[in-house]
Amino acid sequence: MSQDQRSALVGFLLIVPAVAHLAYFSMYPVLRSLFLSFHDWNLSGTPEYIGLGNYIRLFNDVDFGRSVQVTLTFSLGVSATLFLVSLTMALLFDRRFPLRDFFRAIYFVPVVVPWVVAAIVWNLIYNPTYGLMNPLTDALHLGQVLWIQNPRLVGISLIIVSVWKGFGYYMVIFLAGLQAIPPEYYEAAQVDGANRRQLLWHITLPLLRPSMLLVAVSAVTDSFQIFTPVWLMTRGGPAGASRMLTIFVYENAFVYLKMGYATAIAALMLVTLVVFTRLQITLWQTDY
């Protein structure tokens, strides 16, 4: 065996544990879920094959349609707001000013706070009796506001929590993209008389497109799969106004024991995310 062959064999043996871990803990659950989506199974006994029965039922399920609407509205609100807020903050923190690094760290703190802790804290903030939002609503003469108890406000309330929790992470991604732009481009443009707005529109934003794609895809994917804060804060209520698809999957799988139906929903979520990702790649016209 030659030296090159031995090196290739050693490299293969080194990646085997990682590949095995990925296959068993990532690929197998996905394939198993797809298999179960064509069966009727209540977590006991042998799954009963029913073909496309679960998928046909989905399109006749009013609760599923409502859950899709809630999820799409929430995902659009979170991802668009996260994109704009994180980009704005990254542009601000890319400039030099006193205590810049300190404020960067402060704004990143919510990212490392566990979702369980964040949900508990925001439940207290939104409490209509002693919550920290009450002084603000009193100052605006709005009276007692039921932030997560009102079907019309619960969506906005959860969007605020999600943006607060995640914008620091996406801000760092944008900052990395900004710092990767060669300063020579700005210097050349300034020599030609470009102002700040022209530098932003013709140099910064075009060269940030790879970072924009990453943020857009990640924000949509994360918001589409959100579960913990919604479950802890609203349990999908009130009146189903915050019943995301993840909540709908959980209820069908572990409350109603309709595992086949739940996996069919999960499969459609996977296909939807793949389609959204492909559309975003096309929209940003990147080479990925």
Enumerate residues 6+ apart whose C-beta is below 8 A from 168. 86, 107, 108, 109, 110, 111
Q: What is the pLDDT of residues 4-40, one digit of tens each?
A: 788 888 888 889 999 898 888 888 988 999 999 999 9
Q: Please enumerate in sequence order all residues whose Cβ is within 8 A of that of 222, keeping only pairs 6 or more positions apart, or say none.
A: 166
For residues 273 and 187, is the Cβ–Cβ distance under 8 A? no
Assess if CATH 1.10.3720.10 describes domain 50-284: yes
Query: Which amino acid appears at position 139 of this protein?
Result: A
Contact (Cβ atoms closer than 8 angstroms) between residue 259 and residue 35: no
Cis ω before 183 (30° cut-off from 0): no
Q: Which residues pair with 40 in a beta bridge?
A: 48
Q: Count CA atoms within 13 Å of residue 186 on its CB side.
A: 14
Amino acid symbol at 52 = L
CA distance 173 to 87: 9
Q: From CA 163, how far away is CA 194, in angstroms rounded?
A: 34
Distances (CA, A) of 270 to 31, 103, 122, 133, 165: 12, 37, 29, 37, 24
Q: Tell me which H or E stretch contains 49.
A: strand 48-49
262-279 residue pLDDT tens: 999 999 999 999 999 999
At 102, which amino acid appears?
A: F
Give the three-class secondary structure for 46: coil
Return the number of other C-beta atoms located less than 10 Å from residue 278's C-beta: 11
Written as one letter, the residue type at 59 is F
Q: Where are the domains of the chain?
A: 50-284
pLDDT tens sequence for the chain (288 residues): 677 788 888 888 889 999 898 888 888 988 999 999 999 998 888 999 999 999 999 989 999 999 999 999 999 999 999 999 999 999 999 888 888 889 988 999 999 999 999 999 999 999 888 888 888 887 877 777 889 999 999 999 999 999 999 999 999 999 999 999 999 998 898 888 888 889 899 899 999 999 999 999 999 999 999 999 999 999 998 989 999 999 999 999 999 999 999 999 999 999 999 999 999 888 876 554
Instruction: Give the span between the Cα atoms of 283 and 280, in whole angstroms.
Output: 5
- Among 171, 210, 207, 212, which Cα is nearest to 189's? 207
In the structure encoding, which two tokens stand for residue 128, read together?
A: 């209509």
